[in-house]
Amino acid sequence: MLNSEGIIFAADIDKKENLLGTIRSVSPYIEAIKIGNLVLLEHGLEIIKIIKDNTDKPLLIDIKFMDIQYIAERIVTKILSHGGDGIMVSGVVGGDVISACKKIMSKKMLFVFTQFTHMSGLISDEMADEYIDLAITLECNGVQVPATFPKRISNVRKSVGKELIIISCGIGAQGAKIGSAIAAGANYEIIGRSIYNPIAPSQSPAEAAESAKNKIRKVLLSRENCALPASTTPESPLNSKSGISHSYWIERTVNCY
Amino acid sequence: MLNSEGIIFAADIDKKENLLGTIRSVSPYIEAIKIGNLVLLEHGLEIIKIIKDNTDKPLLIDIKFMDIQYIAERIVTKILSHGGDGIMVSGVVGGDVISACKKIMSKKMLFVFTQFTHMSGLISDEMADEYIDLAITLECNGVQVPATFPKRISNVRKSVGKELIIISCGIGAQGAKIGSAIAAGANYEIIGRSIYNPIAPSQSPAEAAESAKNKIRKVLLSRENCALPASTTPESPLNSKSGISHSYWIERTVNCY
């Protein structure tokens, strides 16, 4: 479902009208939507179907649970039954829980959260490397790597090659500049507040999303040694290993790290 | 709110009727109720008030989020506004997020999750010790320590003395015997499936909860050197440091580790 580069919109908006309206207005400029605990706790899992009715973009459920396999399996099953297109799990839960999620997710997207964007988070690079190894071994689609540590993104990219999609949060309000994570080797930048609550007061979320997309496009175009690989056609998805479908936006500048 | 020993009922029941009926029937035998992602995702935060209307026992929201401070603060504020009596946060999020939660929680209960009950969880004793240090420094009410590693409970108890309440999950279906965590030094055993889905087919959840309470009572009575400290009166709550109120069941055998 995610085979290119661009923006995953972190729709951390609790009021339903605002949430859905913003999603509708920004959808032309983004590649996927991510909802997390804030929205899920406010509305329950039913919000998944409601969001899906308001956009054609894939919806990633950023649950990052810290639960045992028995609970994780029940939650993942529920997410899928409500129409979620993917989930993000905490790497720290370990291989058994991630593997159990993978079995249920089948060809749906499974991402592994590796490290926090904030300085005081207690996950070291070495610990995160262990989660990344698990993500590869268990054939997950990708990993989250914080945009607030761009060197980490480039190191992880060097380490995993094209094995994994890298999605990066911490863009905008948390300090990392729009485009910086993709410049460092990420596939997607997860952007929330900078879109749904733009710094420029006169800017709408749609305008902020369009502006962010243009910034990312410039970064992609300026990447050195950029070439369109043969594999970026709809018939031949980039992530053949994960078997994910190829039904969304394809940017000509895919895969240029 | 939690000043003694006994059972925290892990009400991981997704169907509302069954959830509320079970809570009503087991409440006489338990000291608190814990709900986590399964129930919260099914019903949203509104379920907190509904549960509170069905029991007089305190309700712990086992959210264990892996979010940044900005999101954590918004979630904790919501939990309190819905009537939650306490939360459990993941220690791995680090001091800034836990401290921010503490500020919002004020005198409400704040517990720190330290380690997984399953073997493949990727949190070592050393990492968990760091979270426990944070819990003490930030004047949290207690820590979760897995009942599946009883030696760990006794070591943590030796280390923290009476500074922290220890709550232990992993009892029953996950392998640890009822009473074993309290025997090792925990204050509360978090019991879920063994109560809401008793092994004995003829046993009701209430009967299973009563049976569990009796087993724990026996463990408490058999503790060596057991004596009722002067501080276990309603006027002088055990956890004076946390300033929590003392409005619930007091077991004469409190504090006998």
**Closest CA in chain B for residue A146:** B68
Pairing of strands A6-10, A32-35: parallel
The domain total for chain A is 1
**CA of A71, closest CA in chain B: separation in Å?**
7
Contact B220, B37 (CB under 8 A): no
pLDDT of A240 higher than 80: no
Of A12, A65, A130, Cβ closest to residue B122:
A130
**CA of B45, closest CA in chain A: separation in Å?**
5
pLDDT of B242 higher than 80: no
pLDDT in tens, B19-48: 999 999 999 999 999 999 999 999 999 999
pLDDT in tens, B97-155: 999 999 999 999 999 999 999 999 999 999 999 999 999 999 999 999 999 999 999 99
Amino acid sitting at position A52: K
Residue B95, in any domain of the structure: yes
The confidence score (pLDDT) of residue A227 equals: 44
Is the alpha carbon torsion for A245, A247, A249, A252 positive or negative? positive
pLDDT in tens, B73-96: 999 999 999 999 999 999 999 999
List the end-to-end C-alpha distance of chain B, in Å, as a whole number: 20
**Closest CA in chain A for residue B43:** A44
Q: Choose the catalytic residue: B52, B57, B64, B108.
A: B64
Residues with Cβ within 8 Å of residue A138, at least 6 apart in sequence: A95, A98, A99, A102
Q: Which residues of B141-157 are buried (b: 16+ CB within 10 A; e: fewer)?
A: bbbbbbbbbbebbbbbb
Distances (CA, A) of A36 to A9, A11, A77, A144: 11, 8, 17, 14
Q: Which uninterrupted H or E stretch holds A110?
A: strand A109-113
Q: Which two tokens stand for residue A90?
A: 């905490």
More confident residue, A81 or A200: A81
Beta strands in B74-164 (DSSP E): 86-90, 109-113, 142-144
pLDDT of A9 higher than 70: yes
Amino acid sitting at position A5: E
Q: Do A122 and B63 touch (CB under 8 A)?
A: no
Residue B252, in any domain of the structure: no
pLDDT cut 70: percent of chain B above it:
86
The confidence score (pLDDT) of residue B227 equals: 44
**Rounded Cα distance, A154 and A173, in Å:** 21
pLDDT in tens, B55-74: 999 999 999 999 999 999 99
The confidence score (pLDDT) of residue B224 equals: 52
Residue B97, in any domain of the structure: yes
Q: Which residues of A53-72 are buried (b: 16+ CB within 10 A; e: fewer)?
A: eebebbbbbbbbbbbbbbbb
Mutate to test the interface with B, among A77, A122, A123, A132 (most CBs of B within 10 A): A122
Chain A positions touching B71 (Cβ under 8 A) are: 12, 36-38
**Closest CA in chain B for residue A93:** B121
Q: Do A67 and B123 touch (CB under 8 A)?
A: no
Over the Cα atoms of chain A, what is R_g?
A: 17
Residue A254, in any domain of the structure: no
Say whether residue B42 is in contact with chain A using an 8 A CB cutoff. yes
Residues with Cβ within 8 Å of residue A14, at least 6 apart in sequence: A38, A39, A42, B74, B78
Over the Cα atoms of chain B, what is R_g?
A: 17
Residues with Cβ within 8 Å of residue A29, at least 6 apart in sequence: A7, A206, A209, A210, A212, A213
Q: Which uninterrupted H or E stretch holds A59?
A: strand A59-61
Instruction: List beta partners, residue A142.
Output: A111, A165
Residues with Cβ within 8 Å of residue A126, at least 6 apart in sequence: none
pLDDT of A247 higher than 60: no
Q: Do A94 and B41 touch (CB under 8 A)?
A: no
Residue A113 is part of a domain; what is its CATH number? 3.20.20.70
Structural domain including A176 reads: 6-222
Is B64 known to be catalytic?
yes
Mutate to test the interface with B, among A43, A66, A75, A196 (most CBs of B within 10 A): A66
Environment class of A151 (CB within 10 Å of its CB; exposed 0-12, middle 13-18, buried 19+): exposed
Confidence of residue A250 (pLDDT cuts 50, 70, 90): very low
pLDDT cut 70: percent of chain A above it:
86
Q: What is the DSSP letter of A238?
A: S
**CA of A42, closest CA in chain B: separation in Å?**
5
Amino acid sitting at position A207: E
**Closest CA in chain A for residue B113:** A66
pTM, two decimal places? 0.87
Q: What is the DSSP letter of A200?
A: S
Residues A82-106, mean pLDDT to the nearest whole number: 97
Residue B182, in any domain of the structure: yes
Report the mean per-residue pLDDT for chain B: 87
Say whether residue A82 is in contact with chain B using an 8 A CB cutoff. no
Runs of H (alpha helix) within chain A: 16-26, 37-43, 46-52, 69-81, 95-105, 125-137, 150-160, 180-184, 193-196, 205-222
Q: Nearest Cα to A163, choosing from A125, A127, A132?
A: A132
Residue A218, in any domain of the structure: yes
| A145 backbone dihedrals φ, ψ, rounded to 5° | -130, 130
Q: Say which residue the tokens 């159990």 belong to.
A: A100
The residue count of chain A comes to: 257
The confidence score (pLDDT) of residue B44 equals: 95
Q: Do A92 and B123 touch (CB under 8 A)?
A: yes
| Contacts across the A-B interface (CB distance below 8 Å) | 131
pLDDT in tens, A125-175: 999 999 999 999 999 999 999 999 999 999 999 999 999 999 999 998 888
pLDDT in tens, B152-206: 999 999 999 999 999 999 998 888 999 999 999 999 999 999 999 998 888 999 9
Report the mean per-residue pLDDT for chain A: 87
| B171 backbone dihedrals φ, ψ, rounded to 5° | -85, 140
Residue A245, in any domain of the structure: no
Q: Which uninterrupted H or E stretch holds B217?
A: helix B205-222
Residue A130, in any domain of the structure: yes
Say whether residue A66 is in contact with chain B using an 8 A CB cutoff. yes
Q: Do B118 and A44 touch (CB under 8 A)?
A: no
Say whether residue A14 is in contact with chain B using an 8 A CB cutoff. yes
Contact B209, B30 (CB under 8 A): yes
**Rounded Cα distance, A253 and B1, in Å:** 58
Chain A positions touching B14 (Cβ under 8 A) are: 74, 78
Confidence of residue A3 (pLDDT cuts 50, 70, 90): low
Contact A100, A75 (CB under 8 A): no
Q: Choose the catalytic residue: A34, A52, A57, A64.
A: A64
Confidence of residue A241 (pLDDT cuts 50, 70, 90): very low
